[in-house]
Amino acid sequence: MFLSQEADQFQLPVNETGFTREELEELLSFLESNEPVSPNSGSEGSTRAVYSPDERKKRRMKSNRESARRSRWRKRMHLENITDEVNRLSVENQQLKNRLSAVINQYHIVWRENEQLRSESEALWAKLLDLYWTLATMQSR
């Protein structure tokens, strides 16, 4: 209250500061209110007393619109990044499926060759055993 009484006693230098009488009175009342000013309050907090409630509401609405626009942009970028990753992973998944299919086909080929070689090995062992019996019979006579 002391400052507002002084403001009434003296002529406020409206033309020198560029502020209107109402803006200066609002600024003085703000300084008089003993509200703590946070250094992290940003530019909005430092100019809060200069604007009328309607102006503050308009600035807040503008700020909210800008914040919503940035939020939508971030959401769109996030969605694009996720979509790109889904596409990349789908391609990688298809490549892995193709490689798996090729490995399975190669496995079947090798398995068949192994079965064939096993069969031939058994036949050769049978012939070798037969030859041993024949040789043993010839030596025992």
Q: Where are the domains of the chain?
A: 1-50
Average pLDDT estimate for 30-35: 67
Q: How high is the mean pLDDT of the chain?
A: 82
Average pLDDT estimate for 78-105: 98
Average pLDDT estimate for 26-37: 67
- The per-residue pLDDT for range 46-55, each reduced to its tens digit, is 544 678 889 9
Pick from 68, 33, 73: which is nearest to 49 by CA?
A: 33
**pLDDT of amino acid 1:** 45
On the question of pLDDT at 7 being above 70, the answer is: no
Percent of the chain with pLDDT over 70: 74
- CA distances (Å), origin 103, targets 89, 98, 112, 117: 21, 9, 14, 21
- CA–CA gap between residue 120 and residue 112 (Å, rounded): 12
Percent of the chain with pLDDT over 90: 59
